[in-house]
Amino acid sequence: MNSRLQKNMWGYFFIGPFIIGFLSFTIIPMVASLYFSFTKYDLFTAPQWIGIENYKKMFSDDPRYFQSLKVTFIYVLGGVPLRLSFALLVAMLLNAGSRAVGLYRTMYYLPSLIGGSVAVAIMWRNIFGDEGIVNLALQALGLDGIRWFGDPGAALWMLIFLSVWQFGSSMLIFLAGLKSIPQSYYEAASVDGGNYFQKFVNITLPMLSPVLLFNIIMQTIAAFMTFVPAFIISKGTGGPLDGTLLYSLYLFKQGFEYFNMGYASAMAWVMLLIVAFFTGIIFLTSKYWVHYESEGR
């Protein structure tokens, strides 16, 4: 009996920091955030209960909110599939080659390594400028340069390209997944006369599906929360014409520029629900496409 108590005490001694941190930096703030979401609060005067006004305003009386939702959905639904497809394609290319792959792996990973920095956002801003190298390249190909900062749609694609450019970390995960697929599966398929496409659909994709599931979920959540590139590239405005007003940026502006803490809290809760909804959908559909090896292996 005594030893069982002792075991529990040791357990909570070690994970104690996590529990304390979870309560003080996650649970209490979340409860507070839920409360603030039903109030009008500017940080300087006491919060004022206004019921569901914030939520009502969001969906009926705030065109910028809809704009930020739209922009964020395009960013997530455009960026994540492109980024993961690139990651998978390059991982398969690297997996097929034998020599010098280490060097290539490093080169492809580097954009991911530095991609979250302000320096890279500044760089991106400048290569897409009117006289930047992207337009120079387009002109060299005989195309017209694009005014990336003049058109809200183009500006958003500039952000999506930045996210796709950083496919390296997903590529590393896929590469590790590809290496763990037994070569004998492919050999057996070859004997049966399977072509590249059949091998990809029947062996590579199913074997890789657990890794794919993990990546889709983590990348989708991360994409919904993207802040730095939109903040830097638009110089904090979300412009042009709110074309890069990602959800996080609008939330930040509502909270810390206009001091609508209640409204921003309500936005945060809606975001949580959206992310939970998407994660749930991905999990639910996963049983139809994710293949787990049987325990016996």
In the list 39, 204, 215, 244, the residue contacting another protein (rule: CB under 8 A) is 215
Rounded to the nearest whole angstrom, what is the least distance from the CB of residue 267 to another protein in the complex? 8
State which of positions 143-162 bind another protein (CB under 8 A). none
Separation CA 170–CA 156 (nearest Å): 22
In the list 82, 181, 205, 225, the residue contacting another protein (rule: CB under 8 A) is 225
Nearer to another protein by Cβ, of 26 and 202: the residue is 26
79 binds another protein (CB under 8 A): no
Residue 232 makes CB contacts below 8 A (sequence gap 6+) with 118, 121, 122, 125
Q: Give, as one character, the DSSP assignment of residue 39.
A: E
How many CB atoms sit inside 10 A of residue 85's CB? 13
Nearer to another protein by Cβ, of 4 and 297: the residue is 4
How many of the chain's residues bind another protein (CB under 8 A)? 93
Site track for another protein across 45-74, x = CB under 8 A: ------------------------------
Please answer whether residues 170 and 87 qualify as being in contact, where contact means their C-beta atoms are separated by less than 8 angstroms: yes
280 three-state secondary structure: helix
* Bridge partners, residue 48, by sequence: 40
Q: Which two tokens stand for residue 95?
A: 């997996």
14 binds another protein (CB under 8 A): yes
Nearer to another protein by Cβ, of 74 and 92: the residue is 92
145 three-state secondary structure: coil
In the list 29, 150, 153, 280, the residue contacting another protein (rule: CB under 8 A) is 29
